[in-house]
Structure 1
Amino acid sequence: MSHQQDTRVDIVEVAVRPALDAATAAAIIDEAATHAAGAAGDLLRSGVHHYHDVAGDESRLFLYPTQGARGAGDPQIVESGIKALSEAASARGLATRPTSGTRRSAVGPTSARPSAHLFVVQLSPSEEWVAEFRRWLDEEHFVRQCGMAGVQAVAGYESITSATSFLNVWDIAAPELIDSPEWLAIRNTEWWERVAPAFGSGELRRAILSRVDA
């Protein structure tokens, strides 16, 4: 994994399989912070948030590097921290999948993280859909869904670890909100109908996550 030298890093997500219990996640984070040392270690200690995929055997470790820690947002420091975190998990025989992104847009109080539940959608659409999909997210979808009771905030990121890939992180009050009749009724507009084929044009991952408290 390699970051552009001048690219700000606003989010790190490390998917870990199989899922971790709270004690194991805390041990991995501590080992990674000790190994990384310096600013990268401080960054990991400043707050890695542990979530579990409610529909699968996977954990997600989230870090928001630009929220105040020493080295916040510095691509090289963040990359060192991600590497240490992945290596600490791999040393226990766990599979990892890291993703980093820079924030493009947001609706609602996203600085209030960590939320109790997250809905995470990652899509890498084919090139012809990128511009239109980005406009739909920023100009319609985010605003409309955040008007729904229980949808607290959303932040839209673009991956800096792969070709154009959208990472949308929703703060939600309860997992059952997603794909509920109300969610679908608010989402299903004429613009949605136009961009829906983008979801079949590239790799798609979606997960509903619940926070694991240590």
Structure 2
Amino acid sequence: MASKPTDCLLLQFTLAPAPTERLAAAAAQLCADSGLHLQRLACAPDGTTYLYARLPQRTQLGVEALPPLAAALERRIPAARDIRVARLQQVFTAPGHADGELPVFHYVVETDPEAGWQAELERWYDQEHMPGLAAVPGCILAQRYYNHDQGPLSLACYDLVSEQVLGSPPWLAVRGTAWSDIVRPHFTNTRRTMFRALG
């Protein structure tokens, strides 16, 4: 596979047993050993874990860079299972209304656009949806990436102060716009996951 512009590597795995306090330290050490920066570590109730490891700068990476990182994760976190590594290209970032607060939850929406709808999805995300959700009280950071390896293609993620932010009137108002009603039916392969932020 050709090299892809990469800002961040996403290590996806499941944990057995449940995460411990030592997990964040192990993840930070894994990143440090690899010359990366631990951007976010988050775990869902079913043990699904996302570890975002940021590169010092955007780099063209080939797929051959991924297996060594998976092997390093297996050594550093022996409880990790079903390890997958993906190259992420950042396409949007905005500090949120609660910028500077400590993230407690990490909400992720992964989706592929229906054929012919990618350009409209990009405009909607960049011009309305991501800026709108970033401005909601309780949102710390809004980001979106292209996932070049372990799709869906679009990965939008939000650091939140509380799980209840998703049900708040300002959040629901952004989700309920006319433009949203046009675009959202053209999402495919969509996954929505609420994680607890661990680091």
TM-score, with structure 2 as normaliser: 0.78
Contact 2:134–2:140, Cα closer than 8 Å, also in 1: yes
Q: Deviations over 1:86-130 (max 9, x none)?
A: 543796571223332111122227x97984432111112222221
Contact 2:109–2:192, Cα closer than 8 Å, also in 1: yes
Gaps of 5+ in 1: 34-39
Give the letter aligned to residue 11 of structure 2: V
- Given candidates 94, 118, 128, the residue that maps to 2:106 is 118
Give the 4+ runs in structure 1 shifted more than 4 A.
24-30, 89-93, 111-114
Distance change in 2, residues 1:190/1:14 (3 Å): same
In structure 2, how many angstroms separate the alpha carbons of the residues matched to 1:134 and 1:91?
38
Name the counterpart of 1:104. 91
Name the counterpart of 1:50. 41
Secondary structure in 2 aligned to 1:21?
coil
Contact 2:39–2:53, Cα closer than 8 Å, also in 1: yes
In structure 2, how many angstroms separate the alpha carbons of the residues matched to 1:79 and 1:212?
23
Contact 1:51–1:210, Cα closer than 8 Å, also in 2: yes
Aligned pairs for 1:132-171 within 5 A: 132-161=120-149, 165-171=153-159
Comparing both structures, which one devotes a greater share of its residues to helix?
1
Determine if the alignment matches structure 1 residue 8 to structure 2 residue 5. yes
1:140 deviates by 0.5
Comparing both structures, which one devotes a greater share of its residues to strand?
2
Name the counterpart of 1:60. 50
Distance change in 2, residues 1:62/1:163 (3 Å): closer
- Tell me which moved more, 115-124 or 85-94: 85-94
Identical-pair percentage: 21
Name the counterpart of 1:208. 194
CA RMSD in angstroms comes to 3.2
In structure 2, how many angstroms separate the alpha carbons of the residues matched to 1:59 and 1:164?
17
In structure 2, how many angstroms separate the alpha carbons of the residues matched to 1:113 and 1:58?
24
Distance change in 2, residues 1:134/1:103 (3 Å): same
Distance change in 2, residues 1:97/1:158 (3 Å): same
Secondary structure in 2 aligned to 1:43?
coil
Give the letter aligned to residue 84 of structure 1: A
Gaps of 5+ in 2: none
Give the letter aligned to residue 79 of structure 1: L
Secondary structure in 2 aligned to 1:56?
coil
Distance change in 2, residues 1:114/1:124 (3 Å): farther
In structure 2, how many angstroms separate the alpha carbons of the residues matched to 1:149 and 1:24?
29
Give the letter aligned to residue 84 of structure 2: R
